[in-house]
Structure 1
Amino acid sequence: MALLTPEDLENINKQLQAADSAVRRVTGLDIKGVCKDFYGTTPCCEKVGIVPVTSGNGIIGSFSESLHAIAGYFGFDSFVTDMPDVSGYYEAVRNGAQIILMADDNTFLAHNLKNGKIANNQPCTGIIYAEIASRYLKTDSKDVLAVGLGKVGFPGAAHFVNKGFRVYGYDADRELLDKTVSSLGIIPFDPVNPDNPGKFSIIFEATPCADTIPESVISENCVISTPGIPCAISKELQRKYGVELIMEPLGIGTASMLYSVL
């Protein structure tokens, strides 16, 4: 979780409300509704223990408090432990937590102690952002552009492939792109190639870079579903093309994790 900053997490409830509105416009459901429908699960009084972790770069300011707000937003009873690390884990279990949320620099996980299910934030985030985009009500196109094919982008691209979409993929790391083409059968996309298929109504972006989506691929009223920070598209291009932007720093991926372990 090292890419997040306290500034990214400011006004998390307001960010979730804005994301809910965007997801409704795209899918007809809110975030909770998409997660419930996709995973086939519903919260039922599960208690979530949030454990701060000090290893690596340490605790991100307001991260645990943001998780507490997110869990409450989606209907879960949650608490943040007073102690961090192993002591915090022990405290969470002693205080009746059924689901543990905790993160270090490399892994953000949800673990359901009751049924043994465990979820990693990276694939859960990629999959739910892809699922939201795949439900776009204003298009019947089966073409998707996936930009960024790493630990979040690869699961998202795979999800589109599994749902029968024709996926065009790009990553600045050529080795990673070639590996994804080989394993998923996606079509390599070259942003400077004039023979590209043109504009897309569905774009999935999962990189840590700004302005990664070229104007040449953006269609009117397209949906761009991006868990990447910073934003993949400028505000000017959003307004120019009427883009439906699905982007939020933490809550959508966390909801996906929680619903996946119920």
Structure 2
Amino acid sequence: MALLTPEDLKNINRQLQEADSAVLRVTGLDIKGVCKALYGTSPCSEKVGIVPVTSGNGIIGNFSASLHAITQYFGFDSFVTDMPDVSGYYEAVRNEAEIILMADDHTFLAHNLNNGKIANNQPCTGIIYAEIISRNLKTESKDVLVVGLGKVGFPGAAHFVHKGFRVYGYDADKALLEKTISNLGVIPFDPSNPRKFSMIFEATPCANTIPEAIISEDCVISTPGIPCAISEELRKKYNVQLVMEPLGIGTASMLYSVL
């Protein structure tokens, strides 16, 4: 899991509002609407216990507070435990949490204690960002480029394939690219022979991975990656619709998936 910083999580409510506006422009639905359509679920004020975890690199500043803000934004009743780790888990259960949210350096999970459903942030993030771009109202094209085919990008590519898109894929790691071609039948994209796309899903931890040669006018770029995959100059030049937010969209996907 990509490690966020306190800086990434500043003004999380403002970031969520901006993301909601971007998703609405692209799909005609807000984030809740996309999640409901994708999973067929709706929150009913489920109580969410957020457990800080100290293992690995330790607790990220603002992370638990940001999850608290995100869960409430999406209609859940949430609290952050006073204790971390196993003690925090025990505290959450004792305080009648129905869903547990907790993360270490490798896994960020949601676990619904009532129905046993469990969700991992990485595939849930890939799927929801893919779902958003698949609902793009601005084009009837079924061609989409997926840049980054790891733990977020691969589930996103699989979601596009499942929905009948013609998926082009690229990853600097040739093993990941070959795995995706073999398992999903995606079309390998050659950066040395570029073409323009109206829809791009980017899932890498690198900045400015999207060159001008592949961007069409009014292109929609859906990217959970941090830092941003496209420069501000190119965004303005091509009137790019950018869906990007560090934590909330993926968390909403996790929560709706376990209801």
Q: TM-score range by the shorter chain?
A: over 0.9
User: RMSD of the TM alignment (CA)?
Assistant: 0.7
Partner of 2:151: 151
Partner of 1:260: 257
The runs of at least 4 aligned residues of structure 1 exceeding 4 Å deviation read none
Say which SS state the counterpart of residue 124 (structure 2) adopts: helix
Q: Residue by residue, what CA displacement relative to the aligned partner does 1:215-252 show, whole Å, maximum 9, x if unpaired?
A: 11100001000000000000000000000000000000
Query: How far did residue 214 of structure 1 move?
Result: 1.2
Say which SS state the counterpart of residue 36 (structure 1) adopts: helix
Supply the AA of the counterpart residue of 1:140: E
Name stretches of at least 5 consecutive residues in structure 1 with no aligned partner.
none
Partner of 1:39: 39
Is the contact made by 2:2 and 2:205 (CA closer than 8 Å) also made in structure 1?
A: no
What CA distance in whole angstroms lies between the structure 1 residues aligned with 2:50 and 2:3? 19
2:130 is equivalent to residue 116 of structure 1: no
2:185 is equivalent to residue 205 of structure 1: no
Alignment match of 2:232 (pick from 235, 258, 262): 235
Query: How far did residue 3 of structure 1 move?
Result: 2.0
Is the contact made by 1:191 and 1:214 (CA closer than 8 Å) also made in structure 2?
A: no
Partner of 1:7: 7
Q: Residue by residue, what CA displacement relative to the aligned partner does 1:179-219 show, whole Å, maximum 9, x if unpaired?
A: 110110000001112xx4x2111000000000001111100
Say which SS state the counterpart of residue 57 (structure 2) adopts: coil
What CA distance in whole angstroms lies between the structure 2 residues aligned with 1:2 and 1:223? 23
Q: Residue by residue, what CA displacement relative to the aligned partner does 1:95-131 show, whole Å, maximum 9, x if unpaired?
A: 0100000000000000000000000000000000000
Partner of 1:129: 129
Partner of 2:76: 76
Name stretches of at least 5 consecutive residues in structure 2 with no aligned partner.
none
Is the contact made by 1:2 and 1:57 (CA closer than 8 Å) also made in structure 2?
A: no
Query: How far did residue 175 of structure 1 move?
Result: 1.1
What CA distance in whole angstroms lies between the structure 1 residues aligned with 2:3 and 2:229? 15
What CA distance in whole angstroms lies between the structure 2 residues aligned with 1:222 and 1:99? 37
Supply the AA of the counterpart residue of 1:5: T
Map 1:173-212 to 2 at 5 A.
173-193=173-193, 196=194, 198-212=195-209
Q: Residue by residue, what CA displacement relative to the aligned partner does 1:57-112 show, whole Å, maximum 9, x if unpaired?
A: 00000100000000000000000000000000000000010000000000000000
Say which SS state the counterpart of residue 181 (structure 2) adopts: helix
Q: Residue by residue, what CA displacement relative to the aligned partner does 1:15-72 show, whole Å, maximum 9, x if unpaired?
A: 0000000000000000011001110001012100000000000000010000000000
What CA distance in whole angstroms lies between the structure 2 residues aligned with 1:169 and 1:45? 39
Is the contact made by 1:47 and 1:76 (CA closer than 8 Å) also made in structure 2?
A: yes
Q: TM-score w.r.t. structure 2 length? A: 0.99
Say which SS state the counterpart of residue 146 (structure 1) adopts: strand
Say which SS state the counterpart of residue 100 (structure 1) adopts: strand
Is the contact made by 1:224 and 1:246 (CA closer than 8 Å) also made in structure 2?
A: yes
What CA distance in whole angstroms lies between the structure 2 residues aligned with 1:5 and 1:190? 33
- Report percent identity of matched pairs: 84
What CA distance in whole angstroms lies between the structure 1 residues aligned with 2:84 and 2:60? 13
Q: TM-score w.r.t. structure 1 length? A: 0.98
What CA distance in whole angstroms lies between the structure 2 residues aligned with 1:138 and 1:148? 24
Say which SS state the counterpart of residue 161 (structure 1) adopts: helix
Query: How far did residue 2 of structure 1 move?
Result: 4.9
